[in-house]
Amino acid sequence: MKKICFATNNPNKLKEIKELLGNQFEIVSLKDIGCEEELPETQDTMEGNSLQKARYVFDHYNIDCFADDSGLEVEALNGAPGVYSARYAGLQRNNEDNMALLLQNLQHETNRSAQFRTVVTLTENGKPVQFEGIIKGLILREKKGNKGFGYDPLFVPEGHKRSFAEMSAEEKNKCSHRARAIEKLTKYLLKN
């Protein structure tokens, strides 16, 4: 079974990815390969950050790796928080603070259109390949649900009536931005 590192120590993301990929690959975390340092994320695009993280792991640990960078892009805020989604309300990376700031910034907005976007970069034998996943939807005026993480309680995906945080992991994984990018990654891995 092919062993691939997913460049994260976020247990929520790791669980989500393992559920999406099933048992076709052995997915290991940064901790599993002995990577304790914080991966660099100094680029100003999701493409740049995911590439930077995947390259770092491959270069320092010599293991095929994929890394993602995801963000919430809100139309009325010109695409913000975007690449800064995790630290929108500050470097403490607090989900509650981020959601509170988002709601505050949208309080007078009638346009609630937004999209979650993920860019996954796979480095296989040092060569990078990128995959993108997008799910469009709306931002609620208040949080709903207590599952998921990040902005999930505020985001209702297109074609649904419930927020990501009101859905089971299985339901979310059928339509999420990350699921769409990982589906492309999986097809690529199975072909090669």
- All structural domains of the chain with their residue ranges: 3-191
CA distance 49 to 33: 20
Percent of the residues in the chain that have a pLDDT greater than 70, as a whole number: 100
Confidence check: pLDDT of 54 > 90: yes
Q: Pick from 117, 127, 120, 116: which is nearest to 187 by CA?
A: 120
Confidence of residue 134 (pLDDT cuts 50, 70, 90): very high
Confidence check: pLDDT of 16 > 80: no
Confidence of residue 32 (pLDDT cuts 50, 70, 90): very high
Neighbouring-strand partners of residue 121 = 67, 130
Q: What is the mean pLDDT of residues 106-120?
A: 97
CA distance 97 to 75: 20
154: amino acid identity, one letter: L
Confidence of residue 18 (pLDDT cuts 50, 70, 90): confident
Confidence check: pLDDT of 19 > 90: no
CA distance 13 to 60: 22
Active-site residue (options: 64, 68, 69, 152)? 69
The answer regarding whether domain 3-191 maps to CATH 3.90.950.10 reads yes
The yes-or-no answer on residue 69 being catalytic is: yes
The model carries a pTM of: 0.88
**pLDDT, position 15:** 82
Q: Pick from 123, 52, 41, 30: which is nearest to 82 by CA?
A: 41
Neighbouring-strand partners of residue 134 = 117
